[in-house]
Structure 1
């Protein structure tokens, strides 16, 4: 499920002299992009993170004179030599000024301010782009929602624990971008009091991190987390990842030492340090609650006081409605690609080798398939579905859960990222068929997209709150979405393993 970022076609907007907006830093001119929206692309919210600013906290962009062209995407932290990890088309653009936002508004501005979706892209915090054509499809602006897609520093530059550099630099990027939205979105027709932060995969982890942060609470009203990966928030784990890269580069893990190393060399060492693939040790770490990513936000006691589940259990973000869910077979295909000889291993033994204790026998009973298929389910559970279940158990206040189970026509699996073209209602978009297979059902896109628009607009979904009356109900999305109990299996397995440890 990999792709290589490129500077491929992006449906270049047509300049529109009427698309001129005054921001706090200066005037920008956007363009018409398709029949439904205006696009304001590559607006910098921070100074370029180069030189002395490379491992520093972001600084708000200085003001400019005249009218700044915003008809082309800006530079991206994703570079053309960085391999993508999903089927999402994710273009890269060269340049230094990489901390930008893209704003998509309806072509015709209504009289009242509109709700806003601020989208933080995924990519394991090591790749991904805010400039995917899926995000520029125009369907949310068509339906009265302004979209803002955000770039941020990725990999070691954004998340590495480096001696002499502040922690959580990418999280500070998100915060500065949200401050930019609060201060500027009204000029684009948006309502700063109706901002939803949303993201998928690592982007889902990002918005859960923001939900867990007291200082972020005034900057958004609701949260959408699609297939969030688990992050323990352990500073020591990210420090180990940083140390491995420094060792490969034969330098000390300090700000001054890393500042002397070109970006590409750091990336290549970072990739080498992570080339461990699907191993039983990797699965064991995940099943024990370890992070699914080498580079993540860390609980630093200040900006991020607590790990996500701890913060939510303490009531942080309780007043923010949350829409959260996961797909049925997020990473199953990765394990199914392992040698068939793995199927010769007894199922219960395989589960014990990946860290399950006395609950292994029960896990095998409730998880179908031979060893490879079962371990694929274990990986999906450990990284994504258990994350959603943990949040459902910890979060107080309104929570709307979904379980996406529409099978792909290609392999009958519901893989990672597959829900996105339905949510964004872009089934005819670039590379969608490589995920969904031919003829994905438009009626599912109609239902999911409408539900997301409703949630962004008023904080409600067309199905019950997950824990209303203790029913634990949510939306099971197949060819005919319906309301039923969901994530019971995952919550039961987590509880069993806790008792077994």
Structure 2
């Protein structure tokens, strides 16, 4: 069983589709998800006109536009819909040094064409010609309705990708429609990935998280020039982008830089790393690059290929190096005690909080991983083995004696039912839904307001179309909420159009007031410590509680961050 799971995990990693983290005892597991998103940056950087038109930031323009800012003249372009796009370098950083806000406005990567898209941050799934270490860039989308003096809100979107892939040019992240619908300035940002963002050989952690702080500081300088209000900045992101926001919510020095947050599909079960785990991973990475941590010349002269190879090795072997780190996201934010001061989970006292937040998950978060891992039906014996490998003792016994997770029984015909749906539901509850609801209760109990949602309508994200189960009616897989929010669904159906309209209206209200309710849609009741009131997004009413109770996940069956005390 271990050999099969390890082999499939290796194949999936090699294809840059999914990576699986490690369970207790360091064994690979299909339930320790999360999902590094398929990387399609190459489609947006090099000329694939059909793909660019459907998925990527618009590159055709109708007219140039300029805006005077304190950092100089911003060069952008207006598209046929009247939204202006500004690609810009927001920060500078030498290799493994903290970033700082640029002193003057500049197009990314020395470009002279204002329609040029930024090169991605270095990552193993992208061609050398489409990436650069000089990658601290963002794309600003400003609708024609927002002008200097408008005091419009702003939304800063942080892309996902398990901290090792992704960019501001990922599929579906064209912010024009979202900016126009919400009458806000939308900024889509990129940040250093992998070892370059988290594994400074000298031990300085969280460089990528600090990049987002630099991006926020940049917005503080330039937003008024575009009609934006610096007191109304909301952070939003999906998957590891949401994880990044959770880390920023625990950064006291960033408190004044944004007013609210939207976290979509955060893998909260894993928790932030602690310094002990980080130091173990750091030692391993340093051993791979053959440079002393104080040898500046050696570190400077390391080839990018060597760094990416060492970073990938760390990502692949993370669960063997430290079981608590896991294979999927061993490279992630670290509670270092000075910059990030709280784990924001149940392993330590939760700090007093005040920001309003939205927390959402989708119906079938774990489906892509489970059905990629197991392309054929699995029987009850395999199901039991997978649960045991994933959870160990005593969690396995407790899970398998719970009705909704128990071993599937034989069908009327005498054959064992396919256990993959059971496994998918268990993974969704473990990694996403239930820890998100626990986080919501903690947030409310300690002073904040939170609105919880569950997407039951989505739009198949590129990559998920390779998984037949994600194409079935009613399935909403991890990432299938992205194009709904951005309004970039190709050929949307009636339900998708309606949900896009609703979510953009709710986000518009939330950006301004911290409350996603509008007169046009059903009341979204804020969570309490007893009832999180999870609104069905695309459906009607609230989601059933299931096993996401205070007495089950986090108590009777502990989360990973509790098991590993991270």
1:483 aligns with 542
* Further displaced range: 452-461 or 409-418: 409-418
- Work out whether residues 103 and 147 of structure 1, in 8 Å CA contact, stay in contact via their aligned partners in 2: yes
The 5 A counterparts of 1:358-377 are 358-363=397-402, 365-366=404-405, 370-377=418-425
Structure 1 residue 176, shift from structure 2 partner: 0.9
Asked if 1:467 corresponds to 2:522, the answer is no
Quote how far apart the aligned CAs of 1:182 are.
Answer: 1.4
In structure 2, how many angstroms separate the alpha carbons of the residues matched to 1:315 and 1:163?
31
Q: How does 1:141-152 map to 2 (within 5 A)?
A: 141-143=179-181, 144-152=183-191
Alignment equivalent of 1:203, drawn from 241, 244, 262: 241
The residue that corresponds to 2:507 in the other structure is 452
How far does residue 71 in structure 1 lie from its aligned partner after superposition? 3.0
Normalising by structure 1, we get a TM-score of 0.83
1:391 aligns with 2:391: no
**Corresponding residue for residue 44 of structure 1:** 89
Q: Any unmatched runs of 5+ in structure 2?
A: 1-16, 18-37, 47-51, 409-417, 461-469, 518-522
1:235 partnered with 2:275: yes
CA apart distance, 1:189: 0.6
Count of equivalent residues? 472
Structure 2 CA distance for aligned equivalents of residues 103 and 487 of structure 1: 41
1:401 and 2:468 correspond: no
- How far is 1:325 from its partner? 1.3
Aligned to 2:99: 58
- Residue 157 of structure 1 and its aligned partner are, at CA, apart by 0.5
Greater mean alpha carbon deviation, residues 334-343 or residues 214-223? 334-343
Question: Gaps (5+ residues) in structure 1?
Answer: 85-90
Higher mean alpha-carbon deviation, 181-190 vs 307-316, is at 307-316
Shift of 1:109: 3.0
Tell me if the contact between 1:312 and 1:395 (Cα under 8 Å) persists in the aligned partners: no
Change (3 A) 1:381 1:276: farther
Q: Is the 8 A contact 2:342 2:348 kept in 1?
A: no
| Paired residues of 1:98 and 1:152 also in contact (CA < 8 A) | yes
User: In structure 1, which of residues 132, 135, 152 is the aligned counterpart of residue 170 of structure 2?
Assistant: 132
1:14 — aligned with what?
A: 61
Question: Residue 315 of structure 2 aligns with which residue?
Answer: 274
- Alignment-derived partner of residue 88 in structure 1: none
TM-score normalized by structure 2? 0.74
Among 320, 345, 361, which residue is 2:381 paired with? 345
SS state at 1:473 partner: coil
**Per-residue CA distance 1:191-219 (angstroms, 9 max, x = gap):** 11111011111100111111122111101
CA distance in 2, matches of 1:185, 1:394: 33
CA distance in 1, matches of 2:61, 2:396: 60
DSSP 3-state at the match of 1:330: coil
How far apart, in 2, do the equivalents of 1:220 and 1:197 lie? 7
**Paired residue secondary structure (1:359):** helix
Whole-angstrom CA distance in 1 between matches of 2:106 and 2:167? 28
**Contact map agreement 1:36 1:141 (CA 8 A) in 2:** no
**Higher relative contact order, structure no. (Cα contacts within 8 Å, ≥ 6 residues apart):** 2
Counterpart selection for 2:337 from 286, 290, 301: 301
Q: Is the 8 A contact 2:516 2:524 kept in 1?
A: yes
Equivalent residues in 2 for 1:55-204, closer than 5 Å: 55-63=96-104, 70-78=114-122, 81-82=124-125, 93-110=130-147, 112-132=150-170, 134-143=172-181, 144-160=183-199, 162-204=200-242
Q: What does the per-residue CA deviation read over 1:414-442, in whole Å, with 9 as the maximum and x for residues that have no partner? A: 2110011111122127xxx9xxxx88632
- By how many angstroms is 1:454 displaced? 1.8
Residue 336 of structure 1 contacts residue 372 of structure 1 at CA under 8 Å; is this kept in 2? Answer: yes
Aligned pair in 2 of structure 1 residues 24, 419: CA closer, same or farther (>3 Å)?
Answer: same
Q: Distance in 2 between matches of 1:322 and 1:416?
A: 20
Shift of 1:372: 3.5
CA distance in 2, matches of 1:252, 1:65: 35
1:138 deviates by 1.5
The residue aligned with 1:87 is none
Cα distance, 1:366 vs structure 2: 4.4
CA contact (8 A) 2:457 2:496 kept: no
| CA RMSD after TM alignment | 3.5
Deviations 1:216-268 (A, max 9, x none): 11011110000012333323333333444444445556674543321222213
